[in-house]
Amino acid sequence: MKDFLFILIFVPVVSIAQTAALHEKAYQHQSGTIALVDKRSEIQSDSIPPDQTGMRNLSSIELAQEMVPGWNVGNSLEAVGGETAWGNPKITQRLVDSIKAAGFHAIRIPVAWSNFMDTSLHTYTIDPTLLSRVEEVVNYVLKDSMYAIINEHWDGGWMQPTSTQQLYVNNRLALMWKQIAIRFRDYDDHLIFAGMNEVMVNGDYGTPKPAYYAAHNSYCQTFVTTVRLTGGRNVYRHLAVQGFNTNIGYTLSGFIIPTDVTQSRLMVEVHYYDPYNFTINTGTGYTTQWGKNATIITDAWANESWADGQFQNMKTKFIDKGYAVILGEFGVVARLNLGSAALNAAFAGYRRYYVQYITRSLERYGLVPFWWDAGSTGNNGTGIFNRLTGAKAYPDIIKAIVDTNDINNTGTSVGMLDLFSRPETFSLMQNYPNPFNPSTTISFSLPSKSIVSLKVYDLTGKETAIVVSQELSAGTYSRQWNAANMSSGIYFYQLHAGTYTETKKLILIR
């Protein structure tokens, strides 16, 4: 530590003795694993005295509440191959103006710095062109008096949290963030740095091992230490540190808040995509309903009470102890090809309800929501704005996010009666999928309360299943029929509702 302390005399952060002691404690806290050997002089160079100009006396919790709600300009500056490589147009002031006008107060800007970085000499020098482009986008946001967050996104997965990679990652992370921090050092507190993203061991989705947690925690400490030691306004800048894989459960159990020389300027970042099958699963096994009003089988474990519990736990663990919590990503894909207009509309209602409930629950417990917008507004996309024009692609979803009236009464502003508009006529939709094996979904609409019977018959007219037999209120419903014990062939399903009767054919293929 001797040469480390010698270098610190050039960085009078708070006081020389206090700073040295705190940073020494930070390194010892991680059992010496940060050990920025041979890079310490580079990390400490170009430091300047602390500068509190433009850095208001706001705690992270106070500042975070000014960011509600937030929006991600995803799949752009982190795209492999360049900003437009993944199909999105370049980010413009026009787009940012539209986000501001829609009611958002912060934009998270994911960046993959290694896309344009010289790694050949292990100096990890970022291409000045990328730094300039990120700065241009940051300026778009700040021009509209919004908050901007820039991070180190996935970036090829080089940030593996293992003991064998720990020294390498800490060195590279420090060299990278030193460059970023110095480039943006003169910006005021409307710019927040976020050290990482969803860091995990590639392919290991199980509970993290203690060594994984230790490595990850050391990366968070390296980020904070490196930024602070560049001096200037960075001494007082609000910084966001991430839990392991930004998973709430892992963050609650294994995350250690970094030691910081500046009080009340750290935020904790997690993400939320529960339940996966409803929110972002675009392959087999996806679900189309969520919450207390679901009428078919769903991932019931991740219902309203689960979400409330997760956010309450984050509040208790961090917010109540002085650390703001950023929910850096959440979202639900659009599903536009479910087999019929009625099914698409029904899912859209559940999607709106989910977005409103989650947003309001987050705000009720003091977390800051950031919608994940990856650009595409088509099927399986999370885009809610037209990236080229800034037009609202899904005004109802945007309303569900930004309308914070009565946040303690979830589901009222865009309530269930609005989400599922009353059908004008009785109708029975074609089952989907069809042909199927072994289960299929049958949907129907009721314009008024009715006693409903939905049954399945074989070719001989023999009744083989009763899918529904009850009184239902007006609305659109979906029910699953599992034919696991039935033989392949043609079947008929018939709906009786009041005086209305309709029959359709379905095909079971083994």
| Contact status, residue 223 vs residue 151, Cβ threshold 8 Å | no
User: What kind and span of H or E run contains 357?
Assistant: helix 341-364
Q: Determine the Cα–Cα distance for residues 127 and 135; give it in Å rounded to an integer.
A: 13
Q: Determine the Cα–Cα distance for residues 196 and 243; give it in Å rounded to an integer.
A: 9
- Maximum alpha-carbon separation in the chain: 91
Q: Determine the Cα–Cα distance for residues 348 and 332; give it in Å rounded to an integer.
A: 10
Q: Determine the Cα–Cα distance for residues 30 and 218; give it in Å rounded to an integer.
A: 6
CA distances from 194 to 37, 63, 191, 242, 268 (A): 24, 15, 10, 8, 9
Q: Does 304 qualify as catalytic in the annotation?
A: no
CA distances from 283 to 290, 342, 345, 433 (A): 17, 21, 20, 14
Handedness of CA 201, 204, 205, 209 (dihedral sign): negative
Q: Does 502 qualify as catalytic in the annotation?
A: no
Cis peptide before 69 (omega within 30 of 0): yes
Which CB contacts under 8 angstroms, 24+ apart, belong to 43-47?
Answer: 43/174, 43/175, 43/178, 43/226, 43/229, 44/7, 44/8, 44/10, 44/11, 44/229, 46/178, 46/182, 46/230, 47/10, 47/11, 47/229, 47/230, 47/231
Q: Which of 362, 444, 438 is nearest to 401 (CA)?
A: 362
**Given 83, 152, 198, 363, the catalytic residue:** 198
The torsion angles phi and psi of 294, rounded to 5 degrees, stand at: -65, 145
Angle at 243 between CA 237 and CA 247, to 5 degrees: 135
Angle between helices 341-364 and 304-317 (to 10 degrees): 30
10 Å CB burial of residue 494 (0-12, 13-18, 19+) is middle
Q: Determine the Cα–Cα distance for residues 216 and 470; give it in Å rounded to an integer.
A: 54
Q: Determine the Cα–Cα distance for residues 293 and 119; give it in Å rounded to an integer.
A: 53
Q: Which residues are catalytic?
A: 198, 329
